[in-house]
């Protein structure tokens, strides 16, 4: 299975600021996914990040609010811009398994964001 790490694990931020979350995978993967999990809720897909192309955003999410970078096949960042308390959530990245194991999707530990 793919091993995924995220930084930071948690943060407390002020309204109006931005936070960049990093996701690192231990193998090369074609696509990486970013999810949001609001308190007590399920996971909602924000966008799909492909290396070498712009991210594809789901309905309700826009690039200006959640810019994503994908500089190589093992790394991606998600920025939460101009934050408000409604952005307080857990942000998770995920990938389908690396070479030899592409059958399921694995998740990182998440970044717990609190916006004051």
Partner 1 sequence: GESVGLHLPTLSVQEGDNSIINCAYSNSASDYFIWYKQESGKGPQFIIDIRSNMDKRQGQRVTVLLNKTVKHLSLQIAATQPGDSAVYFCAENRDRGSTLGRLYFGRGTQLTVWP
Burial of 100 (0-12, 13-18, 19+ CB in 10 A): exposed
Residue 75 or 107 with smaller CB distance to partner 1: 107
Contact map string, positions 11 to 50, toward partner 1, x by CB under 8 A: -------------------xx-x-----xxxxxxx--x--
Which residues partner with 80 through β-bridges? 19
Which residues partner with 82 through β-bridges? none
For residues 67 and 81, is the Cβ–Cβ distance under 8 A? Answer: yes
- Of 12-20, 59-67, 76-84, 103-111, the window that binds partner 1 (rule: CB under 8 A) is 103-111
Q: Minimal distance in Å, beta carbon 102 to partner 1?
A: 6
């Amino acid at each position: 299975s793919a091993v995924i790490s995220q930084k930071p694990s948690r943060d407390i931020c002020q309204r109006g600021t931005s936070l960049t979350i990093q996701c690192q995978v231990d193998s090369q993967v074609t696509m990486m996914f970013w999810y949001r999990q609001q308190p007590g809720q399920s996971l909602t897909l924000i966008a799909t990040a492909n290396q070498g192309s712009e991210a594809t955003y789901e309905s309700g999410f826009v690039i200006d609010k959640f810019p994503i970078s994908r500089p190589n096949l093992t790394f991606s960042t998600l920025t939460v811009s101009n934050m408000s308390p409604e952005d307080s959530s857990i942000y998770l990245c995920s990938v389908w398994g690396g070479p030899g194991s592409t059958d399921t999707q694995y998740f990182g530990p998440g970044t717990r964001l609190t916006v004051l």
